[in-house]
Amino acid sequence: MSSLNVQEDHKWVPTHVQVTVLRGRGLRGKGKHGTSDVYTIIQLGKEKYSTGVAEKTTEPEWKEECSFELLPGVLENGGQSGYPAGSNELILTVMHRALIGLDVFLGQAVIPLDKVFLEIIHITSWLNSKTGKKEKERGDIQVTIQFTRDNLTASMYDLVIKDKVIMFISLER
């Protein structure tokens, strides 16, 4: 018989994180008529996904999802896994698509995935201004985060674990 603890043998460790960007509210209007053409960039490590553009609104509805592969052990040891900084941080950047020139930054939030997974808590993270810029009210973005293993959710393993976290992330500070 193995000397390993039964719990250690059956420890559920996710291989992927699925992020769904549901909607925004109260976002800053940077275009004509006080609205924006809004999209969100979701980044984990070097991987990025961008939602479609919701045009002429400050209350966008995306309902778009993406999945990122997690580096082995990146959620363990409080995020101190020997990987480069940011490997366990989900970065959400909200932008206004400009027809001429560069797109305009509306706000950003950083979500530490190790805290969401290990502590299974709801995190309220503010979408901040750029470093060195004056802080402004920026609105909210609602996302869900779900951890999966080889594209199966925790609930498919019939585990007693919260497998989905729904949160509003405020874009102000």
Q: How many domains does the chain have?
A: 1
Question: What mean pLDDT is predicted for residues 38-43?
Answer: 95
In a domain, 93, yes or no: yes
Asked if the structure places residue 85 within a domain, the reply is yes
With cut-offs at 50, 70 and 90, classify the pLDDT of residue 38. Answer: very high
d(CA 55, CA 96): 9
Supply the CATH number for residue 74's domain: 2.60.40.150
In-domain check, residue 5: no
Candidate from 40-49, 83-92, 121-130 with smallest mean pLDDT:
121-130
Assess contact for 119 and 125: CB atoms under 8 A.
Answer: no
Whether residue 48 lies inside any domain: the answer is yes
Query: Is 159 a member of any domain?
Result: yes
Please indicate, yes or no, if residue 157 is contained in any of the structural domains: yes
Q: Is residue 10 part of a domain?
A: no
User: Considering the domain boundaries, does residue 2 fall inside one?
Assistant: no
Phi, then psi, of 150 in degrees rounded to 5? 50, 45
Residue 128 belongs to what H/E stretch?
Answer: none
Q: SS3 string of 1-18?
A: CCCCCHHHHCCCCCCEEE
Residue range(s) defining the domain that contains residue 133? 16-169
Interval 56-71 mean pLDDT:
92
Q: Residues 82-94: what's their mean pLDDT?
A: 83
